[in-house]
Chains A and B, each alone.
Chain A
């Protein structure tokens, strides 16, 4: 049985997928995950999830956001005057990064 493994680096962080383990049951899956994925990299917590319990939808099935021009939805589309609040600037930066990572140029 295959178990997908998600690792959280520190308290409060996100559990992100880091690999999988082959194990007969949940207890063994946790132990294998701890050894294989929690031994070297900084780890605060691990989740193990049976692979067949994972639902997937991919770009073969649907067109995800970003295929049509929706620039009106981005903070970067609007010019403002004066100094913006720092949390607004931060949000705009995060959006600009996400836009770049989309690679829809």
Chain B
């Protein structure tokens, strides 16, 4: 299939591994899905220490279930990406451990305290879900199928995240204040989740023309603000003065892009952001630390012939 045919046919779930697709399409889809898969893994690594720090047994259970889900999403997405035939799953995992794999801006920042958890589990997950819901109509069928399962599970993450936010914002004055401070620190990063404005986005036009991407960065960001600004206010959070957010006549919101730190964003995008190196190196160390587990599993599978495992639950 040539590129023009791809563009003509581009529609929801239109292309599958049975189709002979041009290199440009397969490379663009690989870049997009690999980034998404890496982000699931790096998000899980960021949140994992908080299973231990969760303040109650209920939170601990729910939070470990959530982290487990995110790792599962990473696995689904690496499958969808490798089915394009550009990179193997091994290559993608190696790149991530080497520090070459790219992932979401928000997961480059260290997460220091429990009051920051809703910033990821409610706002970033809410933003991710907004985007993922549109990707159920992406043109690469295995990606769309992965999104079906991801969206099914993700509703729990967002609502649990909101529950944590509610608990903190109805807690002691000190808790409320620390949550507000965390919100101020994270708010610009959350808005940058959706990437640069349409005119500065490097990959948008092509991805949209072949149906990989269903909505532009600007459309997604505005839709997120419309939904989550009222939510934040409802829980008693004050929206920071910067970046300036303009309310349109119809009650929807738009952000003043120039108020955001794009130098920092693009430094992060190149994996060069100093405070974020801890995240990248942490992943590398974890990969090395559990090398023996992978080896044991592989040896066991080849020698013992396997036995019925406990069902993944």
Min CB gap A98→B, angstroms: 8
Residues of A within 8 A of B12 (CB): 12
Residue B145 is within 8 A (CB to CB) of chain A in the complex: yes
Residues of A within 8 A of B129 (CB): 85, 87-88, 91
Residue A103 is within 8 A (CB to CB) of chain B in the complex: no
Residues of B within 8 A of A2 (CB): none
Decide if B132 touches A87 in the complex (CB within 8 Å). Answer: yes
Residues of B within 8 A of A62 (CB): 308-311
CA distance A80 to B153 in the complex (A): 17
Min CB gap A48→B, angstroms: 14
A75, A81, A91 interface centre (most CB from chain B within 10 Å): A91
Decide if A70 touches B65 in the complex (CB within 8 Å). Answer: yes
Residue A94 is within 8 A (CB to CB) of chain B in the complex: yes
- B155's partner among A11, A45, A75, A83 (CB-CB below 8 A) is A75
A11, A79, A81 interface centre (most CB from chain B within 10 Å): A11
Which residues of chain B in 288-313 are interfacial with respect to chain A, using CB atoms and an 8 Å cutoff? 308-313
Nearest-CB residue, chain B, relative to A68: B313
**Contact A78-B310, Cβ < 8 Å, known A11-B14, A85-B227, A87-B132:** no
Interface residues on B, range: 35 or more
CA distance A63 to B47 in the complex (A): 29
CA distance A88 to B145 in the complex (A): 18
Decide if B153 touches A88 in the complex (CB within 8 Å). Answer: no
**Contact A88-B126, Cβ < 8 Å, known A11-B14, A95-B152:** yes
CA distance A57 to B309 in the complex (A): 10
- Interface flags for A44-83 (1: CB within 8 Å of B; 0: not) read 0100000000000100011111000010111101111111
Nearest-CB residue, chain B, relative to A65: B313
- Interface flags for A1-34 (1: CB within 8 Å of B; 0: not) read 0000000000111100000000000000000000
Residues of A within 8 A of B235 (CB): 81
Pick from B25-33, B160-168, B173-181, B271-279 the stretch touching chain A.
B160-168
Min CB gap B270→A, angstroms: 31
**Contact A57-B308, Cβ < 8 Å, known A81-B166, A85-B129, A87-B133:** yes
Residues of B within 8 A of A61 (CB): 308
- Interface flags for B36-65 (1: CB within 8 Å of A; 0: not) read 000000000000000000000010011001
Residues of B within 8 A of A72 (CB): 58, 61-62, 65, 160
Nearest-CB residue, chain A, relative to B57: A72
Residues of A within 8 A of B144 (CB): 12
Decide if B153 touches A78 in the complex (CB within 8 Å). Answer: no
CA distance A70 to B159 in the complex (A): 15
Residue B262 is within 8 A (CB to CB) of chain A in the complex: no
Residues of A within 8 A of B311 (CB): 57, 62-65
A residues neighboring B (CB under 8 Å): 11-14, 45, 57, 61-65, 70, 72-75, 77-92, 94-95, 98
27 examples of A-B residue contacts, CB within 8 angstroms? A11-B13, A11-B16, A11-B141, A12-B141, A14-B145, A62-B308, A65-B312, A65-B313, A72-B65, A73-B65, A74-B156, A75-B158, A78-B156, A78-B159, A80-B162, A81-B235, A82-B231, A83-B227, A85-B227, A86-B133, A87-B133, A88-B126, A88-B129, A88-B155, A91-B155, A92-B155, A94-B152
